[in-house]
């Protein structure tokens, strides 16, 4: 008899409560500068337990959404900082901003780990992992060359089986790997980190993007995780003339 597959992780109640409170701040239920009700009253208003509420309040304080002062209580911050995973978006969505965007598959394959994928996905040397290369066009012009590597199928099957199924589905030819991963994990607290460097396209990427090899470019590397487990590593190459990528910053 085959062993039972472990159930995929569910959204933690405290994360859902955090998001409810962020939305309540945004819609003016708890406006910036106001003092939050006491814990018992707030728990009653939200219909949650006080331990769960306390955890969500800690997250709100850590993110700078509220401040706590002795003798005053919890006050909603004047400026609501963005939560990282709220703004984790596919690169084609970030590039759209009212424009026509099309994602085309250049490669959909399994490959042995590269230095990049091994480093960021913590892969053993004997693994074979999914590799996707996609061209993203904005208003008919090449705007981004994306290379993406997924965690091992065994890891995806355990943590995010819907993503593994989506990667083999019909949407794989018209979507980035990140887009399908985020759709499959929309109920989970996925987080991402990125680095940005200046570089040149080089011959092969220049041909793919229709630019000279010595054209300057921006290279964005990205890693997406569930808790501490990396699920995806990507490189996004943006040539001259590509739409600007919005970058969120907060203090």
Cβ contact 228:189 at 8 Å: no
Write down the pLDDT at residue 250: 44
State how far the Cα of 30 lies from the Cα of 76, in Å rounded to an integer: 7
State how far the Cα of 236 lies from the Cα of 227, in Å rounded to an integer: 23
Residue 235: pLDDT above 70? Answer: yes
Instruction: Record the pTM.
Output: 0.67
| Per-residue model confidence as pLDDT tens digits over 134-192 | 999 999 999 999 999 999 999 999 999 999 899 999 999 999 999 999 999 877 878 88
- Domains (range + CATH), the chain: 13-79 (1.10.10.10), 85-238 (3.40.1410.10)
97 contact partners, CB below 8 Å, separation of at least 6: 243
| Residue 248 pLDDT level (bands cut at 50, 70, 90) | low
Cβ contact 192:126 at 8 Å: no
Cβ contact 231:127 at 8 Å: no
| Per-residue model confidence as pLDDT tens digits over 28-81 | 899 888 999 999 999 999 999 999 899 889 888 877 889 998 888 999 988 765
State how far the Cα of 171 lies from the Cα of 234, in Å rounded to an integer: 19
Residue 194: pLDDT above 90? Answer: no
């Amino acid at each position: 008899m085959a062993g039972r597959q472990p159930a995929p992780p569910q959204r933690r109640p405290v994360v859902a409560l955090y998001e409810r409170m962020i939305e309540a701040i945004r819609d003016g239920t708890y406006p910036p500068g106001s003092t939050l009700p006491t814990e018992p009253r707030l728990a009653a208003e939200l219909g949650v337990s006080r331990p769960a509420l306390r955890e969500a309040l800690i997250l709100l304080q850590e993110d700078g959404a509220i401040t706590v002062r002795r003798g005053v209580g919890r006050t909603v911050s004047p400026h609501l900082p963005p939560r990282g995973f709220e703004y984790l978006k596919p690169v084609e969505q970030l590039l759209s901003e009212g424009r026509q965007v099309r994602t085309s598959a250049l490669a959909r394959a399994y490959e042995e780990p590269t230095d990049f994928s091994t480093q960021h996905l913590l892969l053993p040397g004997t693994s074979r992992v999914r590799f996707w290369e996609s061209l993203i066009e904005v208003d008919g012009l090449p705007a981004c060359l994306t290379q993406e590597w997924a965690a091992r199928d065994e890891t995806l099957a355990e943590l995010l089986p819907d993503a593994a199924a989506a990667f083999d589905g019909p949407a794989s030819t018209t979507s980035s790997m990140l887009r399908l991963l985020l759709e499959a994990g929309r109920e989970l607290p996925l987080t991402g980190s990125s680095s940005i460097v200046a570089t040149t396209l080089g011959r092969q990427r220049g041909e793919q993007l229709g630019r000279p090899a010595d054209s300057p470019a921006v290279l964005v590397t990205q890693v997406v995780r569930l808790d501490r487990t990396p699920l995806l590593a990507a490189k996004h190459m943006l040539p001259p003339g590509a739409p600007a990528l919005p970058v969120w910053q907060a203090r």
